[in-house]
Amino acid sequence: MSDLWRLTAHEAHEKLRAKEISSVELTQSVLDRVAEVEPKVHAYITTTPELALQQAREADQKYASGTATPLTGVPVAVKDLIVTGGTRTTAGSKILENFVPPYDSHVYQNLRRAGAVMVGKANMDEFAMGSSTEHSAFGPTHNPWNTALVPGGSSGGSAAAVAAGECLIALGSDTGGSIRQPASLCGAVGLDPTYGRVSRFGIIAFGSSLDQVGPIGRDVEDVATMLQCIAGHDERDSTSNPEPMPDLRHYLGRDIRGMKVGVPREYFISGMEPGVKARIDEALKTLESLGCEVDTSLSLPSTEHALAVYYIIAPSEASANLARYDGVKYGFSDRSGPTMWDNMEHTRAEGFGNEVKRRIMLGTYALSAGYYDAFYLKAQKVRTVINDEFNAAFAKYDVIVTPTSPTVAFPIGAKVDDPYAMYLNDVYTLPASVAGLPSISVPCGFSEGLPVGLQIIGKFFDEGRILQVASAYEAASGQRNLLAGL
Ligand code: GLN
């Protein structure tokens, strides 16, 4: 079989377990697919074919000895801000172009322990700042459904790799929408876990009160499996929650009769494409037909402020996190100047792209004496109001359902010179991020031939519930394992 790359992770696991295929065969099929389509898609910054085949051989031994688990031998793409010992990790930035980490992140350690196979490091907007993957210092990723379009971002490489068959499942990271929005634009499933669910040890930091790592896959079951693998307490991350992750398989394939679904009216704004609205309306009907009580009278009045809150808090935290890139400790270094200060200035001026510089300036401004109270402190207060509104809603509803993105994928170049237009891509994903809530995007049909995503938001640590609704919806809609016809 030459098209093993079409399998989902759980389908592959079944065949591996039954010894119908080997991980080496599966991995070779994915590597061949990468060789074929990567010139058109550019989902990866670095591919690691030798390492992948080595890991595949180890995985085959695990199957032989009966010690395999669901991700053993499964080819995975890893977003390039996830530290992988011995494999270059760039965060999409020139400043880390040659950074080869000496250690593994928590999530990569867990993947390796499970026996997963790494195909490569996925392209991304520099330091995860962006919604289109055009802000990568290594060039943009192209949407596999139409290569003239963006895949979304910042985890656009991960989502495109999944949709193009260049891996079976991927890891992304989400600060304000970077897993869910590219998943939506590429027809994949993407889950942003509750803040604190997944350890950030070894994750290159952007906005520390927002960042979470999560899965992007071709169906809900794969996403649940990957989340199960990476979640759990880790004492190396002080924000990692000690709460154990329940067995997520328990939530899949169960009925959702009687479940209360809130649909906030503030999400149905002008700027939302009619084709997106039509798909969401149909999805709500499907949920009703599955026995859910869908209530469209929910109001979350502070929704419109989430964007302003996010674009003060995230850049503020980024301005502090990115201070470490000074040409002294890591990566790119310009040493041509007469003094250390000149060298730091030149290193940062050359090493960072424009969007990153914009964020550092915004953040430094918002945190400076005299403006701190007016911007940063005010944003934190509004953040609490947004949390309170969600909490009040969750006293009434099991889940909140919204579109993931107001538009389908847009042309490369259309928004890259207009930061505000770019920021507006995340209006629907930012509120849950600001509140730290878990949320998932699942495919819900097509508009103009391009995928549309449905977002399901849950209570804190209620990943099980959003997976349950996503899994029931997926079964009813048949929208799974969508591979772009490249
Ligand atoms: N697009 C948003 C930003 O540019 C969110 C990015 C993210 O979630 N990492 O900041």
Per-residue model confidence (pLDDT) at position 1? 56
Note if the pTM is more than 0.85. Answer: yes
Using DSSP bridges, classify how beta strands 399-403 and 450-457 pair: parallel, antiparallel or unpaired. Answer: antiparallel
In the chain, which stretches have pLDDT less than 50? Answer: none
State how many domains the chain has: 1
Amino acid 269: pLDDT: 82
471 has catalytic annotation: no
* 390: CATH: 3.90.1300.10
Among candidate residues 154, 184, 240, 433, the one labeled active-site is: 154
CA atoms in the 13 A half-sphere facing the CB of 477: 29
Q: What's the pLDDT at 486?
A: 87
Order of strands, sheet of 75-79, starting from the edge strand that comes earlier in the sequence: 44-47, 117-122, 75-79, 169-174, 212-217, 189-192, 439-447, 450-457, 399-403, 260-262, 293-295
Confidence at residue 292, expressed as pLDDT on a 0 to 100 scale: 98
User: Domain containing 375: what range?
Assistant: 1-486
Residue ID of nearest Cα to ligand 1 atom 5: 176
List 178, 184, 319, 471, catalytic entry:
178
Is 178 noted as a catalytic residue in this protein?
A: yes
Which residues have C-beta atoms less than 6 Å from ligand 1?
A: 128-131, 154, 174-178, 206, 314, 426
pLDDT of residue 308: 97
- Say how many Å lie between the CA of residue 58 and the centre of ligand 1: 36
Residue that is written with structure tokens 């995985």 in the block: 59
What number does the ligand 1 atom closest to the CA of 314 have? 10
> What confidence score (pLDDT) does residue 342 get?
95
pLDDT in tens, 65-91: 999 999 999 999 999 999 999 999 999
What's phi and psi for 68, nearest 5 deg? Answer: -75, 150
The length of the chain is 486
Catalytic residue flag (residue 238): no
- What pLDDT does residue 237 have? 98
Structure tokens at 312: 């003060």
What is the predicted pLDDT for the residue at 243? 87
Q: What is the rounded distance in angstroms from the CA atom of residue 216 to the CA atom of residue 42?
A: 17
Catalytic residue among 22, 23, 79, 439: 79
Pocket test for ligand 1, best of 131, 150, 319 (most atoms within 8 A of CB): 131
